[in-house]
Amino acid sequence: MENYDVVIIGGGPSGIIAGITGLQQNKGKDFLMIKEEEKGLVPCGIPYIFHDLEDTSKNAMGPKGFVNLGGKVIIDKVVDVKIDEKIVITESGKQFNYKRLIFATGSTPTIPKFIKGYDLDGVYYIKKSYDYIENLRQKTVNAKNIVVIGGGFIGVEFAEQLAKFEDKKVSLIEMEKYCLSKAFSEDIAIVADKEIRDANVKLYTESKVQEIIGEDGKVKGVRLADGKIIDADLVIASIGYKPNSELAKKIGLEINSQGAIRIDNYLRSSRPNIFAIGDCSQKVGFITGRTDNIMLASTATSEARILGYNLCEIRVKRNFTGTISIFSTEINGTAFASAGAIEKSAEDSGIEYVVGQFADVDRHPGTLPGTSKLFVKLIVSPGDGSVIGGAMYGGKSVGELINLLGLIIQKNVTVYDLISLQVGTHPLLTTAPTKTVLIKAAENAIAKINK
């Protein structure tokens, strides 16, 4: 039996980063990664395989960085763990001894078994599997009528990408009043939905799928609850993911109500020397400390990095322990992003808030070529002026501007602090110094607090 200091189950972003950071921070230790498939994918890049990247191989991701540092990788499946003996057992019958075990087992798409026809030929779910996605990509090539079910980020991105092919008719079905409603309130969701429609996607909101219709076992359409039938030769369903926690459950690790492995602030499970990171592990909201079900590669890799430093003992104190879930996407050339609380999540959590907002353009003067509109909204605690969330849309600068907002939240920066924030500005790169959007939105919030 081979002995390892650290065994990592899973080779997605969190497994890779835990491996890399762990090896860098714990010199001389032996690391083994056990992953189920040879090839991996950049998870958030999957929708872009279908148009912008043109090729699945361009979105490949593997543990090369981990291997270069001396990590060992085997392709196999862990089927059991003997906790007392510190042994993992694989499907092929191999056994490995560990000192520290990391669950980085990820998540799998929710299969809506309650919908008739969910398993017809031509119905796909967005599994994070290279071969499965490559097969789906090939199927899309000749598909004419594609129905995407679920207007979350992945569903919207799939629909937007596939609708770039002029020969395809792409429909998107969303139960809620707007797409992306987990990340955006109505005012911004309306703008996003308009971009989805302008991207040539036929969007059905407030619509429920009643049945996926088939003929000879093959999909031919989707019937909505209102009776409408949408023709389809391919259905792509993206209605959510659930944590891969069966093995963890089986060996007796505590699992929370969302099916995720329960952990503490240092990614430690309920049993000593066993850790869990990424989609399979519990997330907690940063204000309330209540469990959440956010699944983001950025959150997963952040956890993995913290674990890499703290594998043997806690060496780097974590100053901010909740998950703020920073979302970003681009639809039809407009970027949308949110971080932390939005109106609805604040209300659901019983948090008082004021909204500070400001609209401008992302270059100055706005007469410069390539200028986009830029809208920013802050969610602010009136008690102490803390910024607890926000959302925005605009040009590509939104991709990093949301990270500035993310740091504001994480470092407990208040709207009063933002008044004296120093920023850099440039005509071709940012808003004017006279109208820095985050500062103007902070001033708007202060005015409301003082009212």
Q: Is 383 in the site for a copy of itself (CB under 8 A)?
A: no
By C-beta, is 152 or 214 nearer to a copy of itself? 152
Q: Which of 301, 357, 381, 386 binds a copy of itself (CB under 8 A)?
A: 301
The pattern of x and - marking residues 45 through 84 that bind a copy of itself according to CB under 8 A reads x--x---xx----xxxx-----------------------
Asked if 439 touches a copy of itself (CB under 8 A), the answer is yes
Based on the shown chain and the rule CB under 8 A, indicate whether residue 422 belongs to the binding site for a copy of itself.
yes
C-beta of residue 431 within 8 angstroms of C-beta of residue 374: yes
Choose which of 6, 9, 17, 342 interacts with a copy of itself (CB under 8 A): 17
Smallest Cα–Cα separation from 184: which of 339, 68, 362?
A: 339
CB nearer to a copy of itself: give 190 or 419.
Answer: 419
Segment near a copy of itself (CB under 8 A); pick from 94-102, 189-197, 254-262, 408-416: 408-416
Q: Which is nearer to a copy of itself, 272 or 424 (CB)?
A: 424
Does 13 engage in binding with a copy of itself (CB under 8 A)? yes
Report the DSSP beta bridge partners of residue 72.
Answer: 32
- Token duo for residue 190: 């309306």
CA distances from 179 to 195, 336, 442 (A): 11, 12, 27
String marking each residue 338-377 x if it binds a copy of itself according to CB under 8 A: -x------------------------xx-xxx--------
Interface stretch with a copy of itself, choices 43-51, 131-139, 141-149, 226-234 (CB under 8 A): 43-51
Locate tokens 């042994």: which residue? 87
Q: Mark residue 206 as left, alpha or beta (left: phi above 0; alpha: psi -120 to 50; beta: remaining).
A: left
Q: Which helix (H) or strand (E) holds 66?
A: helix 64-68
227 or 424: whose CB is closer to a copy of itself? 424
Out of 202, 432, 448, 449, the only residue in the binding site for a copy of itself (CB under 8 A) is: 432
Task: Pull the structure tokens for residue 331.
Answer: 């639809």
d(CA 167, CA 179): 24
- Residue 147 tokens read as 């129905």
The pairing of strands 229-231 and 169-173 is unpaired
**What CA–CA distance (Å, rounded) separates 338 from 182?**
10
Instruction: Choose between 93 and 424: whose C-beta lies nearer to a copy of itself.
Output: 424
Nearer to a copy of itself (CB atom), residue 269 or residue 301: 301
Q: What's the CA gap between 169 and 200, in Å, rounded? A: 8
